[in-house]
Amino acid sequence: MQTSIIKFVLNGELKSLEISPGTTLLEIIRDSYHLNGTKSVCNEGDCGACTVTLVEYQEDKPLFKAINSCLYPAEKIMNKHVITVEGLTCKDSELHPIQEILYNNYSTQCGFCTPGIVMSIFAYLAENSEYNEEELREALNGNLCRCTGYVHIIQGALEIINYFSEHQDKILPKKLLEGNKKLADLNKTFNLNFAEKSQGGRGVEGYYLIKSLAKYQEIIKKLKGSGTIKVVAGATDLYVVGNLRRSYFKNYLDITYIPELTTVKADDKYITIGASVTLETIRTNRLISDKLPILAEVVSQMASKQIRNIASIGGNVGNASPVGDCATSLIGLNARLILFGEDGEREVSIDQFYKGYKETVLKHHEFIKEIIIPLQDKCFYSFEKSAKRKTLDISSVCSFCYIEYDKGKMNISRFAFGGVAPYPKLALSIALELRGKSLEELDIEYLGEKVSQEFTPLSDIRGSSEYRHILIRNHVIKHLEKFKEEAMNEG
Partner 1 sequence: MKVNSKHLSGKLHLTGKSTFVENIALQAKDCLYAYPVVSSKAKAKIIKLDSEASKSNPNFKHLITYEDIPGENNIAHGNGDNQPLLAVKDVNYVGQPIAIVVATTLEDAIAISRKIKVEYEEEIPILTVNDAVQAKSEYGPRRLFQRIDSCSKDDIRELQGNLTIGAQEHFYFETQRCFVANEENGYFTVYSSTQAVSEVQEVCARLLGVSSNYITVDVRRLGGAFGGKEAQATLWAGIATIASYICQKPVYLALERKDDISWTGKRHEFVNSYKIKYNSEGKLLSYELDLKANGGAYIDLSFAILERALLHSDSGYYIPEMNITGTAYRTNLPPNTAFRGFGAPQSILTTELALERVAYSLKMDLLDIRKKNVYQLGQTTQYGMEVQEALGLEMLEDLEEISNYQELKAEIADFNNNHKYRKRGIGIVTGKFGISFTATFLNQGSALIWIYSDGSISLSHGGIEMGQQLYTKVATVVCESLGITMDNVRSESTNTKRVGNSSPTAASSGSDLNGNAARQASENLKARLAEISLKLFKEKYDINVDLDDVLFDNNLIFSKRYIEKALTFKELAHYAYMNRVDLGEHSFYKTPLIDFDKTTNKGRPFYYFVYGASLMVSEVDILTGSYKIDSIYVVHDNGIPLNAEIDKGQIYGATVQGLGYCTMEEVKYNEKGESMANTPSTYKIPAMSDVCSNFLVKQVNKERSQASVLGSKAVGEPPFLYGLAGWFSIMNAISYVTKSPESINLKMPATPEAVLLAIEEIKKRGLYV
Ligand X SMILES: Cc1cc2nc3c(=O)[nH]c(=O)nc-3n(C[C@H](O)[C@H](O)[C@H](O)COP(=O)(O)OP(=O)(O)OC[C@H]3O[C@@H](n4cnc5c(N)ncnc54)[C@H](O)[C@@H]3O)c2cc1C
Does 367 sit near ligand X (CB under 6 A)?
yes
The helix-helix angle for 133-140 and 114-127 (nearest 10°) equals 140
Does 40 sit near ligand FES (CB under 6 A)?
yes
Kindly identify the residues of this chain, within the stretch 118-147, that bind ligand FES according to CB under 6 A.
145-147
Among 32, 57, 90, 112, binds ligand FES (CB under 6 A): 112
149 interacts with, out of partner 1, ligand FES, ligand X, none, CB within 5 to 8 A per kind: partner 1
Measured torsion, CA atoms of residues 131, 134, 135, 138, in degrees rounded to the nearest 10:
150
| Residue 12 or 234 having the CB closest to ligand X | 234
Supply the minimum distance, in Å, between the C-beta of residue 98 and partner 1. Answer: 8
Q: What is the DSSP string of 330-364?
A: HHHTT-EEEEEETTEEEEEEGGGTEEETTEES--T
Does 241 sit near ligand FES (CB under 6 A)?
no
Supply the minimum distance, in Å, between the C-beta of residue 450 and ligand X. Answer: 26
Does 303 sit near ligand X (CB under 6 A)?
yes
Backbone angles phi, psi at 463, to 5 degrees: 155, 150
463 interacts with, out of partner 1, ligand FES, ligand X, none, CB within 5 to 8 A per kind: partner 1
| Residue 109 or 212 having the CB closest to partner 1 | 109
78 interacts with, out of ligand X, ligand FES, partner 1, none, CB within 5 to 8 A per kind: none
Does 419 sit near ligand X (CB under 6 A)?
no
How big is the site for ligand X, counted in residues (CB under 6 A)?
A: 31
Distance CA 6, CA 15 (A): 8
303 interacts with, out of ligand X, partner 1, ligand FES, none, CB within 5 to 8 A per kind: ligand X
Does 149 sit near ligand FES (CB under 6 A)?
no
Residues in the chain: 491
Among 4, 99, 105, 108, binds ligand FES (CB under 6 A): 108
Among 17, 42, 431, 444, binds ligand FES (CB under 6 A): 42
The helix-helix angle for 133-140 and 151-166 (nearest 10°) equals 130
Does 84 sit near ligand FES (CB under 6 A)?
no
| Residue 66 or 288 having the CB closest to ligand FES | 66
70 interacts with, out of ligand FES, ligand X, partner 1, none, CB within 5 to 8 A per kind: ligand FES
Beta bridge mates, 315: none
CA distances from 360 to 320, 355, 364 (A): 7, 5, 10
Distance CA 113, CA 145 (A): 6
CB 415, CB 400: distance < 8 Å: yes
Kindly identify the residues of this chain, within the stretch 368-397, that bind ligand X according to CB under 6 A.
368, 394
Pairing of strands 425-427, 51-58: unpaired
CB 262, CB 274: distance < 8 Å: yes
3-class DSSP state of 376: coil
Backbone angles phi, psi at 271, to 5 degrees: -120, 130
Pairing of strands 5-10, 81-83: parallel
Does 311 sit near ligand X (CB under 6 A)?
yes
3-class DSSP state of 13: strand
Does 47 sit near ligand FES (CB under 6 A)?
yes
Contacts of 459 (CB under 8 A, 6+ apart): 465, 466
Does 417 sit near ligand X (CB under 6 A)?
no
Quick note: the x/- pattern for ligand X over 230-249, rule CB under 6 A, is xxxxxxxxx-x---------
464 interacts with, out of partner 1, ligand FES, ligand X, none, CB within 5 to 8 A per kind: partner 1
312 interacts with, out of ligand X, partner 1, ligand FES, none, CB within 5 to 8 A per kind: ligand X
Nearest to 10 by CA among 65, 92, 85, 62: 85
183 interacts with, out of ligand X, partner 1, ligand FES, none, CB within 5 to 8 A per kind: none
275 interacts with, out of ligand X, partner 1, ligand FES, none, CB within 5 to 8 A per kind: ligand X
195 interacts with, out of ligand X, ligand FES, partner 1, none, CB within 5 to 8 A per kind: none
CB 480, CB 488: distance < 8 Å: no
CB 430, CB 451: distance < 8 Å: yes
103 interacts with, out of ligand FES, ligand X, partner 1, none, CB within 5 to 8 A per kind: partner 1
Beta bridge mates, 194: 209
Does 66 sit near ligand FES (CB under 6 A)?
no
Nearest to 271 by CA among 292, 247, 245: 292
Where are the alpha helices (H) located in 128-150, listed in sequence order?
133-140
Backbone angles phi, psi at 46, to 5 degrees: -105, 5
Kindly identify the residues of this chain, within the stretch 153-182, that bind ligand FES according to CB under 6 A.
none
Does 213 sit near ligand X (CB under 6 A)?
no
H or E, element range at 247: none
Binding region for ligand FES (CB under 6 A): 40-43, 45-50, 68, 70, 108-114, 145-148
Binding region for ligand X (CB under 6 A): 44-46, 230-238, 240, 255, 275, 302-303, 307, 311-312, 314-316, 318-319, 324-325, 362, 367-368, 394
